[in-house]
Amino acid sequence: MYDFEHMDPRIIAFVNIFICSNRLQAIMDNGLVDITAKQWLAIAMIEAFPEPPTLKQMSELSGVTHQSMRQIVDRLVDKGFLEVVPDKKDKRAIRLVKTEAANHIRTKKDDQNIQFVYKLFDCLTEEEQRVYCTALEKLCNRLNELKVENEEE
């Protein structure tokens, strides 16, 4: 079928990024209660900001469009996991605040979130984990550069 031994490793890596993403989303969607993997990710990303982020900041960090992030946020607000508050400085902007319910997202098995992450990465040595994180950060930065290049064309 596929001759992986003779394929360019960049193509194999590129395809595997999509395969891993799809598998991860399917496993997480199956393991979470009342929330999807993408909704969980939006809640988790809020922690990356020193203050409640704007919708624009969230869409930029996640790499999804403003409209897609708005749909995710709207669902999280409806479910009681997020509150939308007006920005004090910019009346056009809204800030996203986690509710107490967001701190208690349920999984089908107790402690599934953190245990799943540990299980996922336990096939890698600590050094491989460091190399993976460094490489992934470089790829994310490169994607940001390519996005800017595409927008300028």
70, pLDDT greater than 70? yes
Using alpha carbons, list the distances in angstroms from residue 96 to 86, 99, 120, 136. Answer: 9, 10, 30, 27
Which amino acid, 126?
E
Q: Which residue has the higher pLDDT, 69 or 151?
A: 69
pTM of the predicted model as reported, rounded to 2 decimal places: 0.81
Percentage of residues of the chain with pLDDT beyond 90: 59
pLDDT tens figures, 8-39:
999 999 999 999 999 999 998 888 888 998 99
- Is 98:81 a contact under the CB 8 Å cutoff? yes
Q: Which two tokens stand for residue 59?
A: 């869409």
Q: How far is Cα of residue 49 from the mean position of the Cα atoms in its chain? A: 14
Per-residue pLDDT averaged across 48-66, rounded?
92
Domains, the chain, in order of start with CATH, read 36-105 (1.10.10.10)
Helix (H) or strand (E) holding 121: helix 112-121
Q: Which two tokens stand for residue 95?
A: 């800030």
Residues whose CB falls within 8 Å of the CB of residue 29, separated by 6 or more in sequence, listed in order: 36, 37
In whole angstroms, give the CA distance from residue 61 to residue 46.
Answer: 10
